[in-house]
Structure 1
Amino acid sequence: MSTPADSPSAAADRDPVQEARAHLEQALAALDRLREVLPPPTAPPPENRRR
């Protein structure tokens, strides 16, 4: 995986929005994989606060 320190000229060509989008897509894919592996969440206890 290249970093800006690896090729300074390539760092100027990258779009920060596209780079952020790529990171977000990777994070979403990781969350999807976790959903497949982890057990379903338990229902939270009902709130007993007075309003």
Structure 2
Amino acid sequence: MSTPTDSPSAAADRDPVQEARDCLEQALAALDRLREVLPASSSMPPPDAEGGESS
């Protein structure tokens, strides 16, 4: 029991906060790439609002 195994030592070396931060940074980078590819929805009014005003 006193001898450390690979699993606990590896878990102790890894910082869960840093892992979560890395995951969030990857997600933000993916969202930035999507914003470049997809048109911005905020710049265009929704078609329902536009059609409702004209009729």
TM-score tier, shorter chain, comes to 0.5 to 0.7
Any stretches of 5+ residues in structure 1 without a counterpart?
1-6, 46-51
* Distance (whole Å) between structure 2 residues aligned to residue 40 and residue 14 of structure 1: 38
Whole-angstrom CA distance in 2 between matches of 1:32 and 1:23: 14
Give the TM-score, by structure 1 length. 0.62
Unaligned runs of 5+ in 2: 1-5, 50-55
TM-score (norm 2): 0.58
Aligned match of 2:14: 14
Higher helix share: 2
Number of equivalenced pairs: 40
**Secondary structure in structure 1 of the residue aligned to 2:40:** coil
> What is the alpha-carbon root mean square deviation over aligned residues?
2.0
Query: Residue type of the partner of 1:27?
Result: A
Q: Which has the higher contact order (CA 8 A, sep 6+)?
A: 1
Equivalent position SS for 1:31? helix
2:29 corresponds to: 29
